[in-house]
Amino acid sequence: MSTALDVLIVNPGGRDKAYQKLGGELAAMEPPIWAGLLASFLRGKGLRVEILDTDALGLGPEAASKWIEERDPLLTAVVVYGHNPNASTWVMPGVRSLCGAIKARNRNRRLLLLGGHVSALPERTLREEEADYVCDGEGTYTLLDLVRELKSGSPDLHRVRGILFFQDGEIQRSEPAPFVVDLDREMPGMAWDLLPMDRYRAHNWHCFGEEERSPYAAIYTTLGCPFRCSFCCIQAPFKQGEKALGYKPQVNSYRKWSPQRIGRQIEILVENYGVRHLKIADEIFLLDKEHVEGVCDEILRRGYDLNIWAYARVDTVRDQALLHKMRRAGFRWLALGIESANREVRKDVSKGYREEKIEETVQKIQAAGIHIIGNYIFGLPEDDLDSMRETLELAKSLNTEYANFNSAMAYPGSALYREALERGWPLPKTWDGYSQHSKASLPLPTRHISSREVLAFRDQAFREYFEREEYLERVEKAFGPKVREQVREMTSKSLERDLLET
């Protein structure tokens, strides 16, 4: 059996630009989920795979390129994902630096880019980045096909599904690759043994009242989302796979691992790595009641004491008994997509629930003993200063245990990005401008106010919410006096903004 390395999967860095001062200690250090899943899939097909997490290891481009050269893989695959689907674009400055360093060290190093941003803009990515190939889908079968072709001795890239490459100065695009249908069998979990598990830590708020933020892990229990919110780009890596499998363009795929398989993944994390803090990274975990109950049953059967958080929509929280079961299983936080207090603003981005449903849902979750991180977006297309103030006042009245205040961004792969191009709205000139916390951050203007007004309101809203005595009293009562001080320290870290300095 050959001991040569077939594929080295690389998670690039770039936290400093994306998070500024917040990237040091406050933000999470998350395991690269998609890199771990790809490694699991490829090993199941008999390939020799390793993962290099440059972000977790703190390796700059030069050190990473040296490491890659020493390992000398047949194929180097840089995976462009972030903490959530909308964060993929922020990673691109780190990708560019890494690719440049790799090619400067060895022009013949075979380099593939894949991920959410790459799938959304494959041709542009191929033109602009120093890579030999880009993948326009989720990457599983593309990686497998490409390695097999490279090993063949006379590779024909046209036989590699889901790939773009240059030939005679022209971009060539192969037929789309399907995605993995049988997740339990072909991609049964992450290759945790290939990751530096001692390097990962949870978000600061996830561990309010906890002594430590590590060990920490994040997993998917489902892939994709059936909803079609205009500001989200989650389906970008899956659209070509849907096309290959005959899906109608207007239908979003939604795949699930079995609860039994998820239970086994959690068992590995707890028993082998001591993980207690866990993120369910599904775009909407609380969607399929039977699936959620099954996952909870698997955890309860094992008797673990976990601190889990997951995403939910206002209109997916229906069953009080299920919420209580989730709390018993260790779900201590739900990130609730509230987005806006204004009905017309929500309706314009396909969030059609009623205002009274928001408060009712918050009460249901908290009655089950689960904390809430409210997710809000300022600067959606129908927003003005009054509607954004309405949203902030709703957030303050709900006074949830944490809140995320984001500016609307036209992320590549989203319907909002296509609308921005059609309408000629200004977009960031650099990829780090799509980060909520970067110095270069440039949110969308709305139909009524400028990008500058949106960003200024967002930054003011953050301070206004977290510096309130009502909020500080709430977290102190829920988590203890140390958390009050942690929040004060967090709000002391101001962000530099190019847009607000001009």
Which residues in 152-239 belong to E strands, given as ranges?
A: 163-167, 170-173, 216-219, 222-224
pLDDT of res. 151: 95
Q: Which CATH class is domain 201-221+257-408+443-501?
A: alpha beta
The pLDDT of residue 237 is above 60: yes
Evaluate the omega torsion of the peptide bond into residue 215 and state whether it is cis, within 30 degrees of 0. Answer: yes
**What are the pLDDT digits (tens) for 25-37?**
778 899 999 999 9
CATH architecture, range 7-173: 3-Layer(aba) Sandwich (3.40)
pLDDT of res. 18: 54
Rounded to 5°, the CA angle 3-100-169 comes to 95
Burial class (CB within 10 angstroms; exposed 0-12, middle 13-18, buried 19+) of 354: exposed
Q: List the beta bridge partners of residue 331.
A: 308
pLDDT of res. 2: 53
Common-topology check for domains 7-173 and 201-221+257-408+443-501: no
The pLDDT of residue 352 is above 80: no
Q: Return d(Cα 188, Cα 200) in angstroms, integer.
A: 22
Domain residue ranges in the chain: 7-173, 201-221+257-408+443-501
Average pLDDT, the chain: 92
The pLDDT of residue 362 is above 80: yes
**What are the pLDDT digits (tens) for 111-142?**
999 999 999 999 999 999 999 999 999 999 99
- β-bridge pairing 163-167 and 170-173: antiparallel
Q: What are phi and psi of 326, to 5 degrees?
A: -60, -40
The pLDDT of residue 50 is above 60: yes
Indicate the pLDDT class of residue 459, thresholds 50, 70 and 90.
very high
The pLDDT of residue 326 is above 50: yes
Q: How many CB atoms lie within 10 A of CB 357?
A: 12
> Higher model confidence: residue 22 or residue 45?
45
Residue 78, both tokens: 């840089």
**What are the pLDDT digits (tens) for 382-400?**
999 999 999 999 999 999 9
Segment 479-484 mean pLDDT:
96
- Of the chain, the percentage scoring pLDDT greater than 70 comes to 95
pLDDT of res. 87: 74
Q: Are residues 12 and 91 in contact, defined by beta-carbon separation less than 8 angstroms?
A: yes
pLDDT of res. 86: 67
Segment 450-470 mean pLDDT:
96
pLDDT of res. 113: 98
pLDDT of res. 1: 41
The pLDDT of residue 19 is above 70: no
pLDDT of res. 315: 86
The pLDDT of residue 355 is above 90: no
Segment 346-351 mean pLDDT:
73
CA 106 to chain centre: 31
Indicate the pLDDT class of residue 368, thresholds 50, 70 and 90.
very high
